[in-house]
Structure 1
């Protein structure tokens, strides 16, 4: 009788097979050696399983691919700007306005929107054993199938997206940019976390609140805490997980009060009466 696997282990098996096309038994053997961490197992599989990234030949090939997209080979030999990045994304069949473009930014560790570095590009694709444009296109196809059902992968893309949302030479993202990014991250068909429910348009409320009541730049802590808050609201629409003593950023505290008073008919007069 085959051994019983937990739901988490079964999900890891499915994820690993979808990325590698290995048979189930081979997938289980690899996952067991990596403590059932599917992402680590996938990366190890594509790098040869030794923890050492791919061959010198693969690295050479990736450098040549990178060189094709440089706009200024003399002045910026190790960088690709907006024009080259857009051409590259088009070549690997990435929707420039789609969530998969954020996923590619995470893979190549893009330093800013529409930019790539040689180190990030070569290391990111070498770890995934994708040294050619065709292999990268196939990897993205698989990733797009995987994203909607893989919260771990989505959350990694979400958190990295703050890097490219930031203003130049700043640790903060402009509010307008952050809202545009949230719109894509939380409503794309590829998103594993759709921030809305049948009775509560959370994302729409969040944007409305920020545009009318916040009007400030977004820091990394607020960015990451928004993801945590979004997940909890989808599990508990009544917000019972939130208390006045919780360690949420003040903007989320204010948003909760705004939702209760402005969207759910909270009685402001009762709050005033308590002050007398």
Structure 2
């Protein structure tokens, strides 16, 4: 893809996500050095700071229609979330739900808070379910095509998956489920699928422990910097580097089972 074609694609994605007028698009992208996620964040932050966000009645009505009926008027719970996803035309088991959770800054699975729900949608000037559905689909395209935006969603996912307040370790079975959801649909990691499955086998049969936030984040770097660069030989692995112990144990597991030759 030429530089011109790439910039044209970035402009289209920026417009699709923000609804920004065409005359403003180039300005925001140039300010960010043509980094899509940075440009989008800057544009939305500017809109937030320059306008008092007062959600209109239609947006409030949408929140009210999904909120809990147990007296907590500030939360959409699991039942309301499932109805909301259904109305958006979203499969709860699809990774698009993580994109929505990241956009609305959901604190945990099946929960949306009034303040972040209204604030996030107010920034977009959208107050209909159809508009939300289209906006979410545009965000999902950005998630699938922009590595930096994908990484932000990936990092967000760890805290989002915590099941109780104060939890610091993610169970290995839940981690595996979401690694599969996050990585197996991405074309750039296709050559890594064998190593990823070996990682899952290691976690299930050998490691048998949960993963810390540091390991969750570092595994993304390990996938990009070691596995993706040389899936066969893992030649970029440096045993002197400061990888989490789980990753070093994984390498030993591969060696002991003759799954890597170095």
If the TM-score is normalised by the length of the shorter chain, which range does it land in?
Answer: 0.7 to 0.9
1:66 is aligned to: 63
Distance (Å, rounded) in 1 between the aligned partners of 2:210 and 2:51: 38
2:236 is aligned to: 241
1:203 is aligned to: 196
Q: How far apart are 1:96 and its partner, in Å? A: 0.6
Distance (Å, rounded) in 1 between the aligned partners of 2:112 and 2:19: 29
Query: Residues 169 and 212 of structure 2 are in contact (CA less than 8 Å); yes or no, is this contact kept in structure 1?
Result: yes
Distance (Å, rounded) in 2 between the aligned partners of 1:50 and 1:71: 27
TM-score (norm. length: structure 1): 0.81
Distance 1:266 1:234, change over 3 A: closer
Count, aligned residues: 258
Select which of 248, 255, 258 maps to 1:260: 255
Select which of 140, 144, 153 maps to 1:144: 140
Query: Residues 82 and 92 of structure 2 are in contact (CA less than 8 Å); yes or no, is this contact kept in structure 1?
Result: yes
Deviating above 4 A after TM superposition, structure 1's stretches of 4 or more consecutive aligned residues are 4-11, 20-26, 43-50
Q: Say whether residues 1:182 and 2:179 are aligned partners.
A: yes
Distance (Å, rounded) in 1 between the aligned partners of 2:238 and 2:109: 37
Partner SS, residue 216 of structure 1: coil
Distance (Å, rounded) in 1 between the aligned partners of 2:70 and 2:113: 12
Distance 1:192 1:167, change over 3 A: farther
Moved more, 120-129 or 78-87: 120-129
What are the superposed Cα offsets for residues 184-203 of structure 1, whole Å, 9 maximum, x if unpaired? 11113xx4653x418x6122
1:32 is aligned to: 30
Distance 1:265 1:144, change over 3 A: closer
What are the superposed Cα offsets for residues 165-184 of structure 1, whole Å, 9 maximum, x if unpaired? 22312122111111111111
Cα RMSD, aligned residues only: 2.9
1:83 is aligned to: 79
Moved more, 47-56 or 177-186: 47-56
Report which of the two has the higher share of helix: 2
Q: How far apart are 1:48 and its partner, in Å? A: 6.7
Distance (Å, rounded) in 2 between the aligned partners of 1:131 and 1:35: 32
* Bigger CA radius of gyration: 1
Alignment of 1:42-53 (within 5 A): 42-45=40-43, 49=47, 51-52=49-50
2:13 is aligned to: 15
Distance 1:246 1:11, change over 3 A: farther
Alignment of 1:78-227 (within 5 A): 78-169=74-165, 170-188=167-185, 191=186, 193-194=188-189, 196-197=190-191, 201-227=194-220
Distance 1:45 1:192, change over 3 A: farther
Q: How far apart are 1:45 and its partner, in Å? A: 4.4
5+ unaligned residues in a row in structure 1: which ranges?
Answer: 268-276
